[in-house]
Structure 1
């Protein structure tokens, strides 16, 4: 009985945590969704049938996309507890045979999904904070000119605070999100009580009649309605932090009911006061509560922004370890939680992009045009990858798998098509950003492949070379040399330079190669593979999951070399710094060679990335043509 109560309390605690982190994005959609639906751009007249139809459409879209697709179906597709497009990609690829030609296409699809997520990471903080601060001009119209500077100031503060860690932001603001959802339900209930006829919107016929009546303009209307489900991908992306049961409990037990009540409440307000369409969310509040509502909404949007910023850090680390981005500095902000990281380069690049977006679009209503494509594109990619998992891993019957994903993909395609109607009004931004990121990621992936192949074809083979060295009369020093290598079959340039200039060998020589597998986590028993080569020479391969942090000195302490363990403070680490020289007629066009060269020069050092003591490193450079 005690164990059962402990499990229940643990699940409740996780569900409360999920409310604070996972649901911040979708929980702030009521700030702007109804306002955008009845804006001039959609051409939807503000009439009672249209109000009922719009609210009904939102309710059933939340029911289908979030409850059915994500909460009940997609959350089952976890990879050792991890979710998100990268985890789903690795799950789908690992479900196929090694030679399956679909793997390459799926990898490109996953890269595109990751790129779209970065677009979401730029747009979410901008639209969320702007929409919250815009409440000031409702409370005090004279402050309208101050909305943009205040929003940018809040965003700068939010990104500056990232260096203190996700847990610091979550600990301070997390409980506020729970208050936020309670307030959404309370103010919605108050409005419903004044116009209970809005409850008719729960019948799906109103949604069908509303969409059917739009005719050719249906895509514009759907493009606005889909703003209600932005943030649904966060349910899946953050599954590793809280687990599927907690996320499901939080959605069904609190978040969904509160959102539904608030949307119904805004509809009730418009039935009684059509002039409130200028900002139905804030005008739902009595005048004395407007300023407290703005403050609460601003705090809630900070959490909404925090979720995607943290997701961008995690996505970047996964992309680095899967070989799609160069190494970048990673700061671990928690001694107990490995997933809580801070990446300065990603953080400041995001801030620059967010400020640029705010200055370019000026308002949340204008940003709404750009928002939908990134979100719906990621949703469609998730559905395609889910089909592979259903068929290959879950062994669903073909008819069931194709029927389910066909239905999901149809809805996703309609949503994406609707969002694309606003392409020239701002929808181009996430697409352009995604294309730039795809070029960068594929250039790095192909450049590294070309570079490593070039080195493998020109450098001498390792086994015969060290066999000759082992029997040579070279002077040996009683220390351990650790050569960090990308290829275990060839002689590292650092060893060749060491022999040429110093003409000595170390007593123990390790050739260490780090591999990040396409699984989130590997346990320590699977980490180290030690292969003796000759007297005093060993190959060491260290394997990690793409969610894990590689600490080389710590991993090497597990080794036993002929009865001797390694002291990390007496090892000498030899690293090769490759200087890329673009060559005519290479595997890539010259402009991509030069881009790869720039990325390589600016990549973070392996010293910091692998936690190697800086005072134990000898770095030797070599020029490599690609």
Structure 2
């Protein structure tokens, strides 16, 4: 590079770095850290040229979860306040119906049964949401995101457990991967990890757990509205009758689900104050009842009353656990909604507000029932002081609506995650907030929620299993600690689960059937999604075929840019040969585009596009992997096109310069070696220093001449390629998709034929098509027919 050009290039690079630093400072501390990480990692283009990662599978990667940046106390307390309105609506409204659900016949046989049930409630809340979730499970987050699929993504990045082999070495360069050197492990843990990675059953089982766990959380969003709103409205049952209660509840639910398309961002600012007022109401009323009726119920903190309760009631006591469990419904929201907050804020809000107020509320209700056991069917409203009755009723209805809204929104977010990971049929995902990427609305699922019920205890058991695996393999905790966590909490949850199963014939079959249906849909969709990818991988086009096409005079190159979409991230997809066979022409620039879901929550925009140019370069054929996390939004087509073309130009410039720079460096080194050898021979035959100086001069000048003459070439070469891209862009961009017909292989099993030819075909025909999900303009869409046999 010439002196003037080198100086200009250096100034440009310094100016860009200064602009990045200013932007990082304005974007906050977290963004600044990410920008600094990006600038520290410089990709070696010469190495990528020798090892084409888009045609090879990646090696094993070791990484750690992202640590949240340090927040000030003001920010943490603000998030803690906001979390009250989003996270705790469900568990906070459970005092509306728990005692009536435990004593279903409205009869309390023994006055000490109240103490036994209260003791069960206190220790259930303390052990499961408080100890397990708030102080253990919350730390098993994926870059600040929670939920079953977040745990699955975290495990898949630490272990090679994904069923689709689309890992790439460049993925480890993503800022959210947080790579580190593998630390030492106990030998048996390392062997366990290898066995799990090499076992297809283990990989399928892990995905199955994630799918079932997701189905359970979705069900929580379905269960909450009906129970919470009905229990809140039941406060007017004496005045208007039960029929009016049902009618008002249905009306509220219809309005609630109809309003989902507007999102929660616009009204979210009032959620926290209302739920906080609700907590103050139930906590204050609880203290009032405790001191007015029977302060001796505090004896329930002695766990012996639990033993006496089961001894006295036997099977009936065990069956009542289904009602006791309702006191912790919504506990998964502590983890699933973590993406909007941070661990510390949720720990503070639950420990200081939620936990003490709901425990005091149950204690107050128990004190009231010790004197008026006949009012157990409507305990909360019965124990409210008369002047506070109507204010409590109004706040209870609003709080139940907020609780329903939070759980529905959480279910939508989880479906969006499943969709991005290829585990759910294509549905329309509408992002209702520009501030919070996790706030989405899914029209197709919204109205299905209005008619569905599901049990949620199974999700807690799955979370226990996944977190135990994380503790063992990722956190590297000792075996006895993992066993204490797994068997301790697992035993409690299995006991509750067994109690729930006894209600199967009394309506309990509805949630189980729905859970099975959701699991079947997600499992079948991911199975076929994986098999389609494997079909493309096995039938990908070789570079030799591309050379044949390029040298075939019957194949025309038409002006413009062709974007050919494919699942494949390794090599050229088989759809290309079908296109050439049907229409013997290709665009002057062809880009094979693969939308790839990365097992992280977010991918930075500057890291999203990964390009590679297919050799030889004059063919103008590129491969592009568009990487996105499960919380990312790809954007509208116009924005996507602009980002892709700009990234392509940046790649052409950088590769053109970097490749030539490597060649200049290697040639200069060889030239310097030759000249240096010549100098030494001349110095050996002559002792004249003048001759030595004269011989040294040509070597220096030769290197400068070589560097100057070749360094100009990348600039001119890049300019020509950029002009070529601009000319092609003026002719337009055409999208090419496979009109895929997926059928079972003739030699496959009957079960596989039923799943693929009928079940999957039904799902695919009745859900959104690929071009609709990616919002591809129909006027520029070209479909190529192709049959996949799996």
Paired residues of 1:58 and 1:228 also in contact (CA < 8 A): yes
Q: Deviation of residue 277 (structure 1)?
A: 1.4
Instruction: State the match for 2:683 in structure 1.
Output: none
Q: Which runs of structure 2 are paired with 1:424-435 in the superposition (5 Å)?
A: 424-435=505-516
Instruction: State the match for 1:331 in structure 2.
Output: 430
Instruction: State the match for 2:147 in structure 1.
Output: 84
Does 1:470 pair with 2:570?
Answer: no
Does 1:461 pair with 2:541?
Answer: yes
Q: Which runs of structure 2 are paired with 1:72-471 in the superposition (5 Å)?
A: 72-97=135-160, 99-101=197-199, 102-138=202-238, 140=239, 142-195=240-293, 196-351=295-450, 353-354=451-452, 374-457=455-538, 461-471=541-551
Paired residues of 2:274 and 2:399 also in contact (CA < 8 A): yes
> Which ranges of structure 1 fall in alignment gaps of 5 or more residues?
358-370
Paired residues of 2:536 and 2:573 also in contact (CA < 8 A): no
Instruction: State the match for 1:600 in structure 2.
Output: 764
Question: Which has the greater radius of gyration?
Answer: 2
Q: Deviation of residue 460 (structure 1)?
A: 6.1
Paired residues of 1:11 and 1:245 also in contact (CA < 8 A): yes
Query: 532, 542, 564: which is aligned to 1:483?
Result: 564
Paired residues of 1:95 and 1:389 also in contact (CA < 8 A): no
Paired residues of 1:93 and 1:103 also in contact (CA < 8 A): no
Deviations 1:41-96 (A, max 9, x none): 9xx73433111221122111111111111111111111111111111122234443
Which is further off, 297-306 or 488-497? 488-497
The separation in 2 between residues aligned to 1:324 and 1:454, in whole angstroms, is 18
The separation in 1 between residues aligned to 2:594 and 2:415, in whole angstroms, is 21
Which is further off, 248-257 or 212-221? 212-221
Deviations 1:11-60 (A, max 9, x none): 1111111110100110110000011122229xx73433111221122111
- Kindly tell me: are residues 568 and 258 of structure 1, through their superposed partners in 2, closer, same or farther at Cα, counting changes over 3 Å? farther
- Kindly tell me: are residues 380 and 554 of structure 1, through their superposed partners in 2, closer, same or farther at Cα, counting changes over 3 Å? farther
Does 1:537 pair with 2:625?
Answer: no
The separation in 2 between residues aligned to 1:207 and 1:615, in whole angstroms, is 69
The separation in 2 between residues aligned to 1:375 and 1:151, in whole angstroms, is 22
The separation in 1 between residues aligned to 2:745 and 2:485, in whole angstroms, is 50
The separation in 1 between residues aligned to 2:378 and 2:765, in whole angstroms, is 50
SS in 1 for 2:423: coil
- Kindly tell me: are residues 491 and 156 of structure 1, through their superposed partners in 2, closer, same or farther at Cα, counting changes over 3 Å? same
The separation in 2 between residues aligned to 1:452 and 1:489, in whole angstroms, is 10
TM-score if structure 1 supplies the norm length?
A: 0.90
Paired residues of 1:83 and 1:238 also in contact (CA < 8 A): yes
- Kindly tell me: are residues 417 and 511 of structure 1, through their superposed partners in 2, closer, same or farther at Cα, counting changes over 3 Å? same
The separation in 2 between residues aligned to 1:455 and 1:82, in whole angstroms, is 32
For the aligned residue pairs, the C-alpha RMSD in angstroms reads: 2.6
Paired residues of 1:31 and 1:281 also in contact (CA < 8 A): yes
Which is further off, 497-506 or 472-481? 497-506
The separation in 1 between residues aligned to 2:243 and 2:478, in whole angstroms, is 59
> Which ranges of structure 2 fall in alignment gaps of 5 or more residues?
1-28, 30-68, 162-196, 654-717
Q: Deviation of residue 258 (structure 1)?
A: 0.8
Instruction: State the match for 1:28 in structure 2.
Output: 93
The separation in 2 between residues aligned to 1:5 and 1:233, in whole angstroms, is 25
SS in 2 for 1:558: helix
- Kindly tell me: are residues 109 and 519 of structure 1, through their superposed partners in 2, closer, same or farther at Cα, counting changes over 3 Å? same
- Kindly tell me: are residues 273 and 402 of structure 1, through their superposed partners in 2, closer, same or farther at Cα, counting changes over 3 Å? same
TM-score if structure 2 supplies the norm length?
A: 0.72
The separation in 2 between residues aligned to 1:38 and 1:298, in whole angstroms, is 23
The separation in 1 between residues aligned to 2:460 and 2:642, in whole angstroms, is 40
- Kindly tell me: are residues 159 and 59 of structure 1, through their superposed partners in 2, closer, same or farther at Cα, counting changes over 3 Å? same
The separation in 1 between residues aligned to 2:123 and 2:326, in whole angstroms, is 13
Query: What number of residue pairs does the alignment pair up?
Result: 601
Paired residues of 1:550 and 1:611 also in contact (CA < 8 A): no
Q: Deviation of residue 6 (structure 1)?
A: 8.1
Which is further off, 416-425 or 597-606? 597-606
Instruction: State the match for 1:13 in structure 2.
Output: 78
The separation in 2 between residues aligned to 1:90 and 1:200, in whole angstroms, is 45
Query: 647, 653, 676: which is aligned to 1:558?
Result: 647
Q: Deviation of residue 592 (structure 1)?
A: 1.4
- Kindly tell me: are residues 600 and 189 of structure 1, through their superposed partners in 2, closer, same or farther at Cα, counting changes over 3 Å? same
The separation in 1 between residues aligned to 2:570 and 2:314, in whole angstroms, is 64
Query: 738, 747, 753: which is aligned to 1:590?
Result: 753
